[in-house]
Amino acid sequence: MLSLGLDIGGANTKAVLFEDSELDDYWLEHIPLWKNWENLREFLKKLENVSNPQKVGITMTGELSDVFESKREGVKKIVNTVEEIFSSDVYYLNLEGNLVSGKKAYSSPYKLSASNWVSSALLVGSKYPNCLVIDAGSTTTDIIRVEDKKPKPEGWTDLERLQTGELVYTGVLRTPAPYLKSKLSINGKSFGIAAEYFANMADVYRTLDFLEVEDYTCETPDGRGKNKKECMQRLARLFCSDVEEVGEGLIIKAAEEFRDAQISKIMDGIERVKQIHNISKTLPIIVTGIGGEILAKEAAKQVGFENIINLRNIYNEVAAEMTPAYSLGLLVKEEANP
């Protein structure tokens, strides 16, 4: 049986196809919903034609895109679009961890909103029943307590999770660098930073050689290329300057400061979650997402956790970089064959 897991985001949509329980294929498509909604429709049509799945599982965060007036409207439009395109049985993951029909999803849209972290927790929980999951993605970082194989957060909605520290709205690609620091201290000098979207964290991690060019899956702030020189040039603009004027050495040190600031932000979230749930530092920490190794692992290590495991070492690279979609592809198969 072919089962397809889909994670429909506001900027990126990920899909993972299984034949029975074996990974068959996967896709990552950069689709900024606020620019062209029809691109999502065309991508879903392609998936239906190419994969022809018997079962489809859906989770989403795209309903938060400002192309919609409300999350309710966003969920309903995504559900309507999916139902129009896929001829197979479609299930939607809600915040309670249940797979529900399109009709039920449509009638309870807020229960579907931003449910992808639940999917990630269920996948990890099947292997590590008691752990802490840190999923560092392109845009956000989720910090999820798992107990008895299921997510046990303090907050369930994005609004609640922003309050508890379980959702930290920063990621390794799309986060604007000035969001993390407005002033840098380099070589004994203090520099103010332009509060403009000149550079993002993908530019930082490319400059520091933590990411390859193919990992830079979002658009660049200036529409130019993604090689290291172009990334450094964007960072130089934060100084209202260019690489020729300030030199590569200063740009590299600035990138290091931005990365340190991002690690500190994730550490703050981990510390808050650790206190809320009274977590021991011996608890297994499972890191995942494109930033699992370069952001989540480093933050957990600096907090003092001793047992840190990358999800790629439990499953594979696809599971680590497309965790919610990977999980849904397996979960929907179980729904079909209890």
Who's near 49: CB < 8 A, 6+ residues apart? none
The answer to whether 2-120+323-336 and 128-314 have equal CATH topology is: yes
In 182-284, DSSP assigns E strands to: 183-186, 189-192
User: 99-108 long-range contacts, Cβ below 8 Å, gap at least 24?
Assistant: 99/57, 99/331, 99/332, 99/335, 105/75, 105/79, 106/75, 106/76, 106/79, 106/80
d(CA 290, CA 286): 13
| pLDDT of the residue at 336 | 45
pLDDT 10s digits, 123-167: 999 999 999 999 999 999 999 999 999 999 999 999 999 999 999
Structural domain boundaries in the chain: 2-120+323-336, 128-314
Q: What is the mean pLDDT of residues 99-125?
A: 94
- 81-93 burial, b at 16+ Cβ within 10 Å, e below that, comes to bbbebbebbbbbb
pLDDT-above-70 percentage for the chain: 99
Task: Please say if the pLDDT value at position 184 is more than 90.
Answer: yes
Nearest to 331 by CA among 316, 313, 317, 319: 319
pLDDT 10s digits, 287-326: 999 999 999 999 999 999 999 999 999 999 999 999 999 9
Do the beta carbons of residue 175 and residue 201 sit within 8 Å? yes
Confidence grade of residue 115 (pLDDT, cut at 50, 70, 90): very high
| pLDDT of the residue at 333 | 86
Task: Please say if the pLDDT value at position 338 is more than 50.
Answer: no
| pLDDT of the residue at 180 | 97
Confidence grade of residue 36 (pLDDT, cut at 50, 70, 90): confident
Could you please state the CATH topology (level 3) that the domain comprising 2-120+323-336 is classified under. Nucleotidyltransferase; domain 5 (3.30.420)
Do the beta carbons of residue 21 and residue 330 sit within 8 Å? yes
- The larger pLDDT score, comparing residue 224 to residue 106, is at 224
Helix (H, G, I), strand (E, B) or coil at 199: coil
pLDDT 10s digits, 229-268: 999 999 999 999 999 999 999 999 999 999 999 999 999 9
Confidence grade of residue 335 (pLDDT, cut at 50, 70, 90): low
C-alpha separations of 194 from 239, 254, 256 in Å:
6, 13, 17
CATH 3.30.420.190 fits 128-314, yes or no: yes
Q: Output the average pLDDT for the chain.
A: 95
d(CA 232, CA 258): 13
Task: Please say if the pLDDT value at position 337 is more than 70.
Answer: no
